[in-house]
Structure 1
Amino acid sequence: MIPGRILIPIVFLVLTSQKAVAACSFVDGHGLTTMQFEFPPTISVPRDAPNGTILYETPTKSLQGVNSSYKCPSGYSYGIKNSLGTTTSGNNLFPIGNTGIAWQWLRVEINRIARGYPNIDNGPSGIWGWNGSQHALRLVKIGDTQGDLKIPSGIFGYYYFDSITPVAMSVTSSTSVVVQSCDTTDVAVDMGKHKLSSFPEYGSQSTPVNFSIKVNNCPKGINKITYTLAPTPNSPAWNANLGIVNLNSTSTAKGLGLQILGDNQQPLELNKSYVLDESPAAGGNFSIPLTARYFRVLPTGNSGILDLGLNAGTANADVWFIMNYL
């Protein structure tokens, strides 16, 4: 007899367990509550306000007598979902389209700013309600705000707890965003005629010429105006600390530069921000008084005004004045 072989199949069983998914639900008879906030017809944004600047914040709204209670087992997620743009998990800034402005949901009574869904993945179990809670809506600058902008009315976002939304935040009417700036124009300064004998040695200066930069039609609400003097490609800096630029390429004079000073006759450093002395908050017209003079940049030689490299001729220079409205 030929011994037989018995094949006994061995079955490997992989046992898996699936964690129960937490699910939140409303208490019987409860549902969504929509809070309504009002914006003014227009909101002003200084043109150069830094990102993070708070543009507007509504009065606080307290919830009382609302039927939006819910119950959750442990392990649920919650947070805000933005109805006007993208939602980033854990982030508390919710972009309003591509306006350069975001909104925030303030939980005033607990001094917190609500974050994007899902913010927490292990929420505690219990029954929760909203009576006594306090809320406000804030607008924040987060990017470039150019042109005519409008923030729409309607739902801004929902507070999610898993798949349910006990509360929403809405605005009753749209608002226009006005980007604030003042009017300025190019300034041409007549430096007059000067004899070469006025520049016998290095550092010799011409008689100062006073001029001013006009800053007109400033709207109300600008907190601060700053200005910066910057060299141009045609008139690069010769000494930035002393506010001196080289003459431009159209000039025929040699050995001279142009120096810019404040009305106190102190040099204005190039590429440095200076603050307008007057407060622009009330709006109106302003003036920045300045002074300009020629400055001999050619080192002193043995021949005075006959030093090689010092020539009479036209002496023109260009300087940029950069205004910032904050």
Structure 2
Amino acid sequence: MTPGKIIVPIVILALMGQAAEAACSFVKGHGLTTMQFDFPPTISVPRDAPNGTILYQTPTKNLQGVNSSYTCPSGYTYGIKNSLGTTTPGNNVFPIGNTGIAWQWIRVEINNAGARGYPNIDNRPSDTWGWNGTQHALRLIKIADTQGELQKIPSGIYGYYYFDSITPMAMSVTSSTSIVAQSCDTPDVTVDMGKHKLSSFPEYGSHATPVNFNIRVNNCPKGINKITYTLAPTPNSPAWNASLGIVNLNGSSTAKGLGLQILGDDQQPLELNKSYVLGESPAAGGNFNIPLTARYLRVLPTGNNGVLDYGLNAGTANADVWFIMNYL
């Protein structure tokens, strides 16, 4: 019997476990640092400031001696998580509840850029980073119109700077603040138009003697950059010709065929629903005066009988106009 060979197959089973993914980690002995910022008790801003207006920015903090260094692999995630509201990935605006105010984590040393919401991806090679020499500030901005004249902005942690799952840095405010809307006092104005004879209105477009009056803008605080005003018709006195500043008499009037026209102190018609800039600079605050003129005007087309035309009647002649202020 020919000796044979017995071949015994040896199967080596390699149990391959999935390697744990690398993630950001603190340098030994390092951890979270919380930066603390102060707000003044109140922050005054123009009442009608547009969305995106910067309301306040804290003084810059220059970090030195910070033990919050970390090591990250390529492809790590990073960004801010908002502690006061929603976080939108990649967005650098963080709402403060439903106040209409948001905050930003400003990296002053990076061209005053706002740090973006978590997560973002960084594909730089693995490395170790720290915070010494970096510069930071907290900025408040307006993002929506709000109800009321006062908004409370809280103290506490505003957000954390994440790198994967670790948080080397947090931003905190030590005291709450109130956002106060700046505005002026504008008392109602009643203009006595006097008595006029119907003979003052023999034809279409004829008008009575103008009556001068003033809109007072009182007790304006400092810091308002611009004040604009608009004259608008009311439901009781709708516009007859908006471009010429003419409104109809209101429903309680017994006079017919007439309207009321508003003019500037240069005797030029003020267009209704158009914004006009207060001529004086309001930045220093104080009291201001807007001189205007009003006059009755015949709006009934001319007929064959002059002041006896059908539809032209004497009587009470009252009108209402809204005066709308905007503070920017």
The two structures have a TM-score, normalised by structure 1, of: 0.90
Instruction: Provide Cα deviations, 1:144-170, integer angstroms capped at 9, x if missing partner.
Output: 342432222222111101111111111
Secondary structure of 1:197 counterpart: helix
Separation in 2 of the partners of 1:258 and 1:19? 84
Secondary structure of 2:199 counterpart: helix
Tell me which amino acid in the other structure corresponds to 1:125: S
Distance 1:253 1:21, change over 3 A: farther
Separation in 1 of the partners of 2:83 and 2:54? 20
Structure 2, gaps ≥5 residues long? 1-16
Which residue of 1 is the match for residue 51 of structure 2?
51
Q: Is the 8 A contact 2:84 2:96 kept in 1?
A: yes
Separation in 1 of the partners of 2:124 and 2:34? 23
Q: 1:265 is matched with which residue: 249, 264, 267?
A: 267
Q: How many residues align?
A: 310
Greater displacement, 316-325 / 166-175: 166-175
Separation in 2 of the partners of 1:32 and 1:290? 63
Q: Does 1:83 align with 2:48?
A: no
Separation in 2 of the partners of 1:257 and 1:18? 86
Any residues of structure 2 matched to 1:145-160 within 5 Å, and which? 145=146, 146-160=148-162
Q: Does 1:140 align with 2:133?
A: no
Which residue of 2 is the match for residue 202 of structure 1?
204
Q: Is the 8 A contact 1:77 1:122 kept in 2?
A: no
Q: Does 1:35 align with 2:35?
A: yes
Tell me which amino acid in the other structure corresponds to 2:127: G
Tell me which amino acid in the other structure corresponds to 1:114: A
Which residue of 1 is the match for residue 293 of structure 2?
291
Q: Does 1:164 align with 2:130?
A: no
Separation in 1 of the partners of 2:19 and 2:311? 87
Q: Is the 8 A contact 1:78 1:123 kept in 2?
A: no
Tell me which amino acid in the other structure corresponds to 1:149: Q
Which residue of 2 is the match for residue 222 of structure 1?
224
Q: Is the 8 A contact 2:74 2:122 kept in 1?
A: no
Q: Is the 8 A contact 1:230 1:271 kept in 2?
A: yes
Tell me which amino acid in the other structure corresponds to 1:216: N
- Could you tell me how far 1:22 is from its partner in structure 2? 4.2
Q: Does 1:307 align with 2:309?
A: yes
Tell me which amino acid in the other structure corresponds to 1:227: Y
Distance 1:21 1:267, change over 3 A: farther
Which residue of 2 is the match for residue 6 of structure 1?
none
- Could you tell me how far 1:38 is from its partner in structure 2? 1.9
Which residue of 1 is the match for residue 116 of structure 2?
115
Tell me which amino acid in the other structure corresponds to 2:227: I
Secondary structure of 1:305 counterpart: helix
Which residue of 2 is the match for residue 129 of structure 1?
130
- Could you tell me how far 1:125 is from its partner in structure 2? 2.6
Distance 1:214 1:18, change over 3 A: farther
Tell me which amino acid in the other structure corresponds to 1:287: N
Greater displacement, 280-289 / 189-198: 280-289
Distance 1:208 1:18, change over 3 A: farther
Q: Is the 8 A contact 2:185 2:218 kept in 1?
A: yes
Which stretches of structure 1, 4 residues or more, deviate above 3 A after TM superposition?
17-22, 121-124
- Could you tell me how far 1:60 is from its partner in structure 2? 1.6
- Could you tell me how far 1:122 is from its partner in structure 2? 4.8
Separation in 2 of the partners of 1:124 and 1:172? 37
Which residue of 1 is the match for residue 12 of structure 2?
none
Structure 1, gaps ≥5 residues long? 1-16
Which residue of 2 is the match for residue 236 of structure 1?
238
Which residue of 2 is the match for residue 96 of structure 1?
96
Secondary structure of 2:109 counterpart: helix
- Could you tell me how far 1:80 is from its partner in structure 2? 0.4
Q: Is the 8 A contact 2:189 2:215 kept in 1?
A: yes
The two structures have a TM-score, normalised by structure 2, of: 0.90
Distance 1:197 1:65, change over 3 A: same
Cα RMSD of the aligned pairs, angstroms, is 1.7
